[in-house]
Amino acid sequence: MGLPKKKLSTTRRDRRWVRYKLRGVALVECSHCHKMIRPHRICPFCGYYEGTEVLKVKEEKEE
């Protein structure tokens, strides 16, 4: 089994983990209701996708 010939510096070791950082969720504005939603998905608020109604959304009753 192979062993390292020299000690790996902390900079080289830590460079491995640079790409594993947390990123925020990408959001775009719905073209119909103008709420922020995930891209390339049906809007959960109005049921539209790219300007056409795909899903009937039940409206909540306010008391």
Instruction: Look at residue 63 in the predicted model and tell me its pLDDT.
Output: 63
- Identity at 11, one-letter amino acid code: T
Give counts: helices (H), strands (E), the chain.
1, 4
Domain count for the chain, please give it: 1
Average of pLDDT values for 48-60? Answer: 87
Q: What is the token pair recorded at 34? A: 């103008």
Classify residue 45: in a domain, yes or no.
Answer: yes
Average of pLDDT values for 47-56? Answer: 91
Classify residue 16: in a domain, yes or no.
Answer: no
What is the domain extent for residue 35?
24-63
Classify residue 18: in a domain, yes or no.
Answer: no
pLDDT > 80? residue 49: yes
Classify residue 60: in a domain, yes or no.
Answer: yes
Instruction: Look at residue 33 in the predicted model and tell me its pLDDT.
Output: 93
Classify residue 4: in a domain, yes or no.
Answer: no
Classify residue 35: in a domain, yes or no.
Answer: yes
Classify residue 57: in a domain, yes or no.
Answer: yes
CA dist 41 and 52 (Å) reads 12
Classify residue 43: in a domain, yes or no.
Answer: yes
Which pLDDT band holds residue 40 (cuts at 50, 70, 90)? Answer: very high
Instruction: Look at residue 23 in the predicted model and tell me its pLDDT.
Output: 82
